[in-house]
Chain A
Amino acid sequence: MGKLLRRTFLIGSAAIAGGVAVGFYMYKTPYPNPISADTAKGESVFNPFVKIAADNSVTIIVPRAEMGQGVVTTLSALVAEELDVELADVKTEFAPAADVYYNRAMLEEGAPFHVFDNSFIAEMTRDIQGVVAKFLAMQATGGSSSTIDAFDRMRTSGAAARAMLIATAADKWQVAAASLKTENGKVLDPALGRSIAYGELVTAAAEQEVPETITLKDPVDWRYLGKSQPRLDMAAKVTGKAGFGVDVRLPDMLFATVRMNPRQGAKMTGMDASAAEKVPGVVKVINLGTGYAVVADNTWTAFKAADLVTPQWAEATYPATTDAIFASIDAALKAGGGFNMRDDGDAPDAVAAASGKAIGARYTAPYLAHATMEPMNATAQWTDGKLAVWCGNQAPTSIVTQAGSVFGLSAGDITVHSTYLGGGFGRRFETDFSMLAARVAKEMDGKPVQVTWTREEDMRHDMYRPGAICEAAAVVDEQGVPSVEFRVASQSPIASTFGRLAGAITPPGNDKTIVDGLWDQPYALANYRVTGIEVDMDIPVGFWRSVGHSHNPFFHECFMDEIARSSGQDPLEMRLKLMQPYPAAVGAVQAVKDMSGWGTPLPADGVKSRGRGVAFCLSFGTWVAQVIQVADTDDGIRIEKVWCAADFGTALDPKNLEAQMMSGIIFGLSSAMGQEITFADGAVEQGNFDSYDAMRMNQSPDIQVRVLQTSGKMGGAGEPGTPPSLPALANAIFAATGKRIRQLPLSKEITFA
């Protein structure tokens, strides 16, 4: 414990107060630096994150995927802040797949978390560290962790390079390093009024001894951090120049598509490809065992010819219909057992003892597809037995390990070129699309092949957000404090995901993502039990933006609403009361109370009625409260306004955090309004946006976001906006209409305008 405290304190001090020396642990790791200099450009490499060229251009290596969340900008700002260069002028490159970009070392040495004496928070902190470690040990982007992970490490990289440049100038001028300063890419000698550009120092500076300790800037001196920065990728993204996976173009490249058995993972027992092979432009039809690929001279020809192949598909190894799948989940729930992630007091006894007074509810959530805007795709090429893969991905090192296993290659024979991602949401954590491209390219005699899936193929071969059933029970005492019990059953995203990854060891213990959003919420309740039941089924499930927090908060926060209503309490005031020991939670709820005018009458002009709903969720270290206002109109429910207050602890880029909250909210509301993946004959029934749509401009509400920074430790941004949006909407619909909807999507019971 002492060791943990000391480490946590060291890093924590640096993060809070600044100016405190921290060990530059990064260079103590055995990992080699994968970045090499382009000497023709006069580049020098300072560390795995920083290159500076003789022409003063600075290149920052971004080790995480840019899928919209703004990491290219925020991570670059961390380096630019400490390196003291103009952020707008830096160039960025996505990192290669390399061990040095793993995150485990940092997590073991102490993440930038404060020391909390509150046991609940301490538990949460450890929990978050564990999740982050699991993801980032693989150079993966997920768990809303990129900035938390990079905060010390990338600042330190910039500061180390700056110290090496200063030391070089000090040698050159024969003065003490301490007498020198830096400003916008120059080392200054204030005593003699002289200056020298970084570019003139780089060759010698990169040879300098790496400093043992680094002093980071005091946050009060921050120039970029804590302030909104124009995104570095914005110009490319408004001119069509940003390169996504589908935009990769290589000499002699062929274009292909795949059609896999719509019954997830099952074999293809035969195919007749003769008609497809006759289509002009088709180069080859390849049997992939569980499906086939068509290679052609353009993507459309491949799509068209793929329709002409007649395959024979084997049966599914899981229940073939949605009803049968949910019957299996229900059977698991009824069978009992499971694991308790929270078991305070004696909730079941309290509920049982309250004969007649207890309330109960049963909630369901469907399977969901990610439906990224850019369908799955990857480009691959084999040269002399070595594999190169180009794609947008959330886990480059997983591509290396998977390809190593599938093709018997060593890591050095696999190169991953990461592009921008046309959406990720957890889907591009997987390696299926890159492996299929590699398998197809292997048949094509060294030619590069781009394999693009149709939208239908993408939607029907996802790793879905698992469907879930939750049973909740509660009894409320005279003080209005409930005893609550939640039991939830679903497939395990962790078991399914790690089962697909070569060489990955499924983390021991229960999959807490099954109960995330139920067990980890800051309600001070004496009797509080949460039980998770893992359902064993072969449907591939995975990480869908906010994972367990994508559906469990719907169960938790709708039930809290039911508890409040059943006991005559205002749902928002009840939360303020029950969250009292957790100031960040209270602050967020209080903020949306103020922002939304909670409790003031709502006019019903021109509509049948209006209502407000509130919900809260702590996820990925960020404390988020939302109030949603809906109107019941002749055309259905219209979502009019969303107020969101989010406590990130430390907000590095407020305008980007606002964008992430809006994004998470619209993503969550899209699912609540109508998304559902259903199965028939073992295959997914939805194929395109006509049957699996998302919110559109005409449905998009006004969203107000308040960024708070009181929690004391940095939280994530990509996911925490999503969880409260679904229950806040359902609770608002109840307030407006009196209709309590306990199943997702809500469109099963109402219409949206």
Chain B
Amino acid sequence: MDIKINGRTVSIEADPEMPLLWALRDIAGLTGTKFGCGIAMCGACTVLIDGEPVRSCSIALEDVSGDVTTIEALQGDDGALHVVQEAWIEQQVAQCGYCQSGQIMSAVALLANNATPTDADIDEAMSGNLCRCGTYPRIRAAIHTAAKKLAGA
């Protein structure tokens, strides 16, 4: 099965029913996307498919029809961080860090669709991403910071 991951076509030899998450982690070697719950309740496995946030634990390989973007591709080839990653560092968001790949992918999708999200927009877009360390206040601040950076760019 050929799947376009981070701009490259990757051939995956696996059961077509295998969730994308496990193909990324155990076959393609992209471990930045995390397993949290397996039932799309926690968002740790969030990736983008054609720019939309998708819980990769709950989409079968055979149903993946678009371009997959994972946390590994946010950084430019020159090593430059994505503006959302910069904002995350500026606000010192991460604690244990396990959920943050998913949080960041959800935030990237939010900002791509809405350059000036309100707190209500952030609630709407981010409430599917659980964080047991309770980094929500800083995630909210970082999304606002990223929005400002984008507006200034």
**A interface, how many residues as a size bin?**
35 or more
A234, A300, A690, A700 pick with most chain B CB within 10 angstroms: A300
Does A255 make an interface contact (CB < 8 A)? yes
Residue of A nearest to B125 (CB): A697
CA distance A243 to B98 in the complex (A): 9
The answer to whether A234 touches B92, judged by C-beta atoms less than 8 angstroms apart, is yes
Q: Tell me the A214-232 residues at the B interface (CB within 8 Å).
A: 230-231
Find out whether the CB atom of B95 lies under 8 angstroms from the CB atom of A69: yes
Known contacts A240-B72, A298-B14, A420-B96; is-contact A688 B132 (Cβ 8 Å) = no
Distance (Å) between the CB of A79 and the closest chain B CB? Answer: 21
A299 within 8 A of B: yes
Nearest-Cβ distance from residue A171 to partner chain B, whole angstroms: 42
Q: What 1/0 mask marks residues of chain A from 647 to 665 whose CB sits below 8 Å from any chain B CB?
A: 0000000011001001111
Contact B41 A690 (CB under 8 A): yes
* Residues in A neighbouring B94, C-beta threshold 8 A: 68, 231, 233-234, 237-238
Q: B15 contacts the other chain (Cβ, under 8 Å)?
A: yes
> Given the interface contacts A373-B44, A455-B36, A700-B137, does A238 sit within 8 Å of B93 by beta carbon?
yes
What string of 1s and 0s marks CB contacts (under 8 Å) between A392-429 and chain B? Answer: 00000000000000000000000000001111110000
**Complex: chain A residue closest to B95, CB-CB:** A68
Contact A421 B96, CB 8 Å, known A240-B72, A703-B137: yes
B26 to A300, Cβ gap below 8 A?
yes
Identify which of A422, A662, A688, A694 contacts B98 (C-beta below 8 A): A422
Closest to A642 in B: B137
* Most chain B beta-carbon neighbours within 10 Å: one of A299, A373, A421, A662: A373
Residue-wise interface mask of B (62-104) relative to A, using a CB-CB cutoff of 8 A (1 in contact, 0 not): 0000000011101100000100010011001111111111001
Q: How far is the CA of A697 from the CA of B143 in the complex (A)?
A: 12
List the A side residues contacting B89 at CB < 8 Å. 230, 234-235, 238
User: How does the 8 Å CB contact mask read for A256-282 relative to B, with 1 for contact and 0 for none?
Assistant: 000000000000000000000000110
Nearest CB in chain B: distance from A269 CB, A: 28
Which residue in B27, B34, B85, B122 is a CB contact (below 8 Å) of A374?
B34
Q: How far is the CA of A243 from the CA of B36 in the complex (A)?
A: 15
Interface residue? A244 (CB, 8 A): yes
* Residues of A654-686 contacting chain B, CB below 8 A: 655-656, 659, 662-667, 670
A28 at the interface (CB under 8 A from B): no
Complex Cα gap A445–B25 (Å): 24
Within 8 A of A (CB), among B105-136: 122-124, 126-136
Shortest CB-to-CB span from B35 to chain A, Å, is: 6
Q: How far is the CA of A84 from the CA of B19 in the complex (A)?
A: 50
Complex CA distance for A580 and B72, rounded to whole angstroms: 55
Please indicate which of the listed interface residues A68, A230, A424, A667 has the most CB atoms of chain B within 10 Å of its own CB. Answer: A68
Please report the C-alpha to C-alpha distance between residue A235 and residue B140 in the assembled complex, in whole angstroms: 18
How far, in whole Å, are A368 and B101 apart by their CA atoms in the complex? 27
Tell me the count of chain B residues lying within 8 A, CB to CB, of chain A.
60
B4 within 8 A of A: no
From the candidates B85, B101, B123, name the one contacting A697 in the complex (CB within 8 A).
B123
A663 and B135 CA atoms in complex are apart in Å by 7
Q: Which residues of A contact B124 (CB under 8 A)?
A: 698
Q: Is the CB of A298 within 8 A of B22?
A: yes
Contact residues in B for A697 (Cβ distance below 8 Å)? 122-123, 126-127, 129, 136, 139-140
- Contact at B31–A299, with CB atoms within 8 Å? no
Residues of chain A with a CB closer than 8 A to B131's CB: 373
- B132 x A694 contact (CB < 8 A): yes
Q: Does A107 sit within 8 A of B, measured CB to CB?
A: no
Q: B31 to A688, Cβ gap below 8 A?
A: no
* Cα–Cα, bound, A413→B72 (Å): 36
Check: A371 CB closer than 8 A to any chain B CB. Answer: yes
Q: Contact check: which of B32, B122, B135 meets A240 at CB < 8 Å?
A: B32
Q: Hey, which chain B residues are within 8 Å of A118, CB to CB?
A: none
| A172 in the interface (beta carbon within 8 A) | no
Q: Which residues of B contact A662 (CB under 8 A)?
A: 134-135, 137-138
A372 close to B (CB within 8 Å): yes
B96 engages A700 (CB within 8 Å): no
Q: A373-B36, A375-B36 are in contact. Are A70 and B95 (CB under 8 A)?
A: yes
Residues of A within 8 A of B29 (CB): 249
Give every chain A residue within 8 A of B31 (Cβ-Cβ). Answer: 240, 243, 246-247, 249
**Nearest-Cβ distance from residue A658 to partner chain B, whole angstroms:** 9
Supply 26 A–B pairs (Cβ within 8 Å), ascending by A: A67-B96, A230-B89, A231-B92, A233-B94, A238-B81, A238-B93, A243-B31, A249-B29, A255-B26, A298-B27, A299-B25, A300-B18, A373-B36, A373-B99, A373-B132, A374-B34, A374-B36, A454-B38, A655-B92, A659-B135, A666-B133, A667-B133, A689-B39, A695-B134, A695-B136, A700-B134
Residues of A within 8 A of B (CB): 66-70, 230-231, 233-244, 246-247, 249, 255, 280-281, 298-301, 303, 371-375, 420-425, 452, 454-455, 655-656, 659, 662-667, 670, 688-690, 693-698, 700, 702-703
B-side interface residues toward A, CB under 8 Å?
Answer: 14-15, 18-19, 21-22, 25-27, 29, 31-39, 41-42, 44, 70-72, 74-75, 81, 85, 88-89, 92-101, 104, 122-124, 126-140
Q: Can you list the 4 inter-chain pairs with the closest CB atoms, starting with the nearest? A: A240-B32, A666-B134, A422-B98, A237-B97
